Amino acid sequence: MKALVLCSGGIDSTTALGIAIKKFGQENVIGLCMSYGQKHVRELESARAVAKHYGIELISMDLSKIFEYSDSSLLSHSDEEIPKESYAKQLDGAAQDETVSTYVPFRNGLFLSTAASIALSKDCSYIYYGAHKDDAAIAAYPDCSEEFNNAIKTAIWEGSGHQLNIEAPFISKNKADIVKMGLELGVPYELTWSCYEGGDKPCGKCGTCIDRAAAFAANGIPDPAIQ
Amino acid sequence: MKALVLCSGGIDSTTALGIAIKKFGQENVIGLCMSYGQKHVRELESARAVAKHYGIELISMDLSKIFEYSDSSLLSHSDEEIPKESYAKQLDGAAQDETVSTYVPFRNGLFLSTAASIALSKDCSYIYYGAHKDDAAIAAYPDCSEEFNNAIKTAIWEGSGHQLNIEAPFISKNKADIVKMGLELGVPYELTWSCYEGGDKPCGKCGTCIDRAAAFAANGIPDPAIQ
In a mutational test of the B interface, the residue from A67, A113, A127 whose CB has the highest number of chain B CBs within 10 Å is A113
- Minimal Cα–Cα distance from A198 to chain B, Å? 23
Nearest CA in chain A to B70: A121
Q: Is the ipTM of this complex over 0.85?
A: yes
Q: What CA–CA distance (Å, rounded) separates A37 from A71?
A: 11
Query: pLDDT tens per residue, chain A (227 residues)?
Result: 999 999 999 999 999 999 999 999 999 999 999 999 887 788 899 999 999 999 999 999 999 999 999 988 888 887 777 776 655 555 555 444 456 788 899 999 999 999 999 999 999 999 999 999 888 877 788 988 999 999 999 999 999 999 999 999 999 999 999 999 999 999 999 999 988 776 778 888 888 888 999 999 999 999 998 86
**Which residues of chain B neighbour A164 with C-beta distances below 8 Å?**
106
- Minimal Cα–Cα distance from B210 to chain A, Å? 25
Of B61, B109, B120, the CB nearest to A156: B109
Which candidate, A83, A15, A51, A16, places its Cα nearest to that of A219? A15
**Which residues of chain A neighbour B98 with C-beta distances below 8 Å?**
161
**Which residues of chain B neighbour A139 with C-beta distances below 8 Å?**
161
Identify the H or E element spanning A179. helix A175-185
b/e string for A64-94 if b means 16 or more Cβ within 10 A?
ebbbebbebbbbeebeeebbbeebeebbeee
Contact status, residue A186 vs residue A173, Cβ threshold 8 Å = no
What's the pLDDT at A129? Answer: 95
Q: What is the pLDDT of residues B52-88, one digit of tens each?
A: 999 999 999 999 999 999 988 888 887 777 776 655 5
Identify the H or E element spanning A175. helix A175-185
The three-state secondary structure class of A31 is strand
Q: Average pLDDT, stretch B12-17?
A: 98
Q: What CA–CA distance (Å, rounded) separates A73 from A163?
A: 36
**Predicted structure pTM score:** 0.92
Using the Cα atoms of residue B55, residue B56, residue B57 and residue B58 in order, give the sign of their dihedral: negative
Q: What CA–CA distance (Å, rounded) separates B63 from B61?
A: 6
What's the start-to-end Cα distance of chain A, in Å?
39
Residues 6 or more apart in contact with residue B67 via CB below 8 angstroms:
A117, A121, B36, B37, B75, B104, B105, B107
**Which residues of chain B neighbour A148 with C-beta distances below 8 Å?**
155, 158-159
Provide the pairing of β-strand B57-62 with B29-35. Answer: parallel
What's the pLDDT at A3? Answer: 98
Q: Is B96 on the interface with A (CB under 8 A)?
A: no
Residue B18 C-alpha from the chain's centroid: 14
Q: What CA–CA distance (Å, rounded) separates B135 from B13?
A: 13
Provide the pairing of β-strand B3-6 with B29-35. Answer: parallel
Q: What is the pLDDT of residues A30-82, one digit of tens each?
A: 999 999 988 778 889 999 999 999 999 999 999 999 999 998 888 888 777 77
Q: What CA–CA distance (Å, rounded) separates A136 from A134?
A: 5
Enter the DSSP assignment of A62: E
Q: Is A86 on the interface with B (CB under 8 A)?
A: no
Of B66, B145, B161, the CB nearest to A97: B161
Other residues' Cβ atoms within 10 Å of the Cβ of residue A138: 18
Q: What CA–CA distance (Å, rounded) separates B159 from A107?
A: 9
Nearest CA in chain A to B113: A110
CB contact under 8 A, A160 and B116: no
- Minimal Cα–Cα distance from A225 to chain B, Å? 32
Q: What CA–CA distance (Å, rounded) separates A39 from A58?
A: 21
Which residues 39-68 of B are in CB contact (within 8 Å) with A?
Answer: 61-62, 65-67
CB contact under 8 A, B61 and A62: no
Angle between helices A175-185 and A207-218 (to 10 degrees): 60
Q: Is B110 on the interface with A (CB under 8 A)?
A: yes
Contact status, residue B91 vs residue B138, Cβ threshold 8 Å = yes
Other residues' Cβ atoms within 10 Å of the Cβ of residue A62: 11
